[in-house]
Amino acid sequence: MELKYILQALRDTAETHQNDIIANAASALAVRLESINTTFGIRAADVTDTERNLIRYVMHNRLAVKSAAGQTEQDYM
This prediction has a pTM of 0.76
Other beta carbons less than 10 A from residue 57's beta carbon? 16
Amino acid at 43: R
User: In sequence order, which residues have a C-beta less than 8 Å from that of residue 6 and are 6 or more positions away?
Assistant: 33, 55, 58, 59
Helices (H), ranges, 1-77: 3-16, 20-33, 49-68, 73-76
Per-residue pLDDT 10s for the chain (77 aa) are: 688 999 999 999 999 999 999 999 999 999 999 888 777 777 878 889 999 999 999 999 886 665 555 655 555 44
Please choose, from the candidates 33, 27, 25, 24, the residue with its C-alpha nearest in 3D space to the C-alpha of residue 11: 27
User: In sequence order, which residues have a C-beta less than 8 Å from that of residue 38 and are 6 or more positions away?
Assistant: none
Q: According to the model, what pLDDT value does residue 27 have?
A: 96
Q: According to the model, what pLDDT value does residue 18 have?
A: 92
